[in-house]
Structure 1
């Protein structure tokens, strides 16, 4: 079926006049009339009939006009869908995040993003560093947000630093090291409460010990979540090595205290990770752009 001719017919049916359709489409009346006659011959149906000095739709023409209106309405929907998808106002984003940004940064980012892109679907998975990296490599996530970049990561991964925060040693306020300066070997004699294996902060602590030829700490308690690990230290057991983003308010309220370890001043990188040489969907690009502009929203 000739869709161009159907569009001409749809325009005529909509405005009720070949003359008016000719003006709207900037096509001569004879050309439109010839196309319609050819279209009627193709369908083996009479669509238009004379009426006074103009034309009217036949019964078949009335029925076809309804179908044509539906067809071109769907065409408009498809065009609008493509436009919205290209601009990123619709679509979906699969986001993998480590615990630090998932709990302390992403909620505010998503709230701000959703104010502008409400129809974009978000699928967020919270995991440790190795899990987030693996999801990105397995194409199960479009973006990974890391709180602490791994020492080594595959060449297929591209990282973009957003900002850095400090890594702190913290203990309960009543601990003998609270607000004190100690050596790294002294600190490593304390029992530690840490996240599970695969946590970037845990790996940073072990790497620190290797760098300074210090004994590694005894990790007496291990949790799968930041909150649980911090709560145990607040309750008075052990020490933790953690991002200042996580514990700054605890320290300010006096629920935790810092321990200043001689010669140690480590930073923690908050970064966006994507797959190299792979274009992000428009919706994901919009999210990344918003995060760049507002990296530290609380």
Structure 2
């Protein structure tokens, strides 16, 4: 079916006049009439009945108008859908993040994004840095929020710094070193409660020991989640080396306390990552704007 001819018929029928339709469409009346006659001939129907002034739809013309109305309303909705998608007002945003970002940062940002864009869907996956980058590169997610470990993938991604996260030694507020200043040697004699091998804080702790030629501390308890490690630390046993963002809420309510270790002042960059060499999607841009705000 010639949709151009159908559209011209629809416009004339809705306007009630070829003249009005021509003005709306900014094309000549003869051009409209010729296209409608071509459409009638191609389909073997008569859409308009002759009468003095104005137009009069035939029976098939009335039926076709009803169906055409449904078609072009769907078209209008599709155009709106596409426009909204291009502006980041609908669609699905898939986010990957490490444990820290998905538990302490992303929930705040996506809540704000959803409030401003009620028609979007948001999916969040908690992954380690390596798997988050893999999903980003395989188009399983649109954006990743990660720590300093993302720096090793600069050949594949573009990353933008969001904030610095300090790394602290913390323990129960009843620990002997709570709120005290101690040497690196002394703190490394304490049992540690840490996340699994390969986690950023764990690798950084090992790096501190290697750099200062100090024996690695005993990892007395190991958890796959940072929150779990912090909860275990509140018992009074062991020291945790971790994100200040994660530890702060425990410190604020008095369950944990900082331990100030001589000459140790380390930071972890929190970055937002997208695929290198691609134009950033509008929905990702909206998300980035929320974060910056």
TM-score range, shorter chain: over 0.9
State the Cα deviation string for residues 101-130 of structure 1 (Å, max 9, x = none): 211111111111111111111110112333
Using the size of structure 2 for normalisation, the TM-score is 0.93
Within a 5 Å distance, the mapping from 1:122-161 to structure 2 comes to 122-150=122-150, 152-153=152-153, 155-161=155-161
1:36 Cα offset (Å):
2.1
Does the residue aligned with 1:269 lie in a helix, a strand or coil?
Answer: strand
1:77 Cα offset (Å):
1.7
Equivalence for 1:266: 266
In structure 1, how many angstroms separate the alpha carbons of the residues matched to 2:199 and 2:74?
Answer: 50
Equivalence for 1:114: 114
Within a 5 Å distance, the mapping from 1:205-284 to structure 2 comes to 205-284=205-284
Call closer, same or farther: CA 1:252–1:65 in 2, change over 3 Å.
closer
Structure 1 stretches lacking a partner, 5+ long: 294-298
1:151 Cα offset (Å):
6.2
Call closer, same or farther: CA 1:13–1:135 in 2, change over 3 Å.
same
Residue range with higher mean Cα deviation, 150-159 or 253-262: 150-159
Equivalence for 2:30: 30
Call closer, same or farther: CA 1:139–1:34 in 2, change over 3 Å.
closer
Does the residue aligned with 2:50 lie in a helix, a strand or coil?
Answer: strand
State the Cα deviation string for residues 154-189 of structure 1 (Å, max 9, x = none): 511222111112111011222222222222122111
Equivalence for 1:4: 4
In structure 1, how many angstroms separate the alpha carbons of the residues matched to 2:3 and 2:134?
Answer: 48
1:87 Cα offset (Å):
0.7
Using the size of structure 1 for normalisation, the TM-score is 0.91
State the Cα deviation string for residues 16-43 of structure 1 (Å, max 9, x = none): 2223323333333333323222221111
Call closer, same or farther: CA 1:28–1:213 in 2, change over 3 Å.
same
Structure 2 stretches lacking a partner, 5+ long: none
In structure 1, how many angstroms separate the alpha carbons of the residues matched to 2:260 and 2:59?
Answer: 89
Equivalence for 1:172: 172
Equivalence for 2:85: 85
In structure 1, how many angstroms separate the alpha carbons of the residues matched to 2:257 and 2:132?
Answer: 31
In structure 2, how many angstroms separate the alpha carbons of the residues matched to 1:203 and 1:4?
Answer: 65
The answer to whether the Cα contact below 8 Å between 1:190 and 1:239 also exists between their aligned partners in 2 is: yes
In structure 1, how many angstroms separate the alpha carbons of the residues matched to 2:134 and 2:12?
Answer: 58
The answer to whether the Cα contact below 8 Å between 1:196 and 1:222 also exists between their aligned partners in 2 is: yes
In structure 1, how many angstroms separate the alpha carbons of the residues matched to 2:135 and 2:5?
Answer: 50
In structure 1, how many angstroms separate the alpha carbons of the residues matched to 2:42 and 2:230?
Answer: 77
State the Cα deviation string for residues 228-285 of structure 1 (Å, max 9, x = none): 1111111111100011111123223332122111111111211112221122322112
State the Cα deviation string for residues 171-217 of structure 1 (Å, max 9, x = none): 12222222222221221111111111232111111122122222112
What is the number of residues matched between the two proteins? 293
Q: CA RMSD in A?
A: 1.8
In structure 2, how many angstroms separate the alpha carbons of the residues matched to 1:238 and 1:229?
Answer: 10
The answer to whether the Cα contact below 8 Å between 1:129 and 1:200 also exists between their aligned partners in 2 is: no
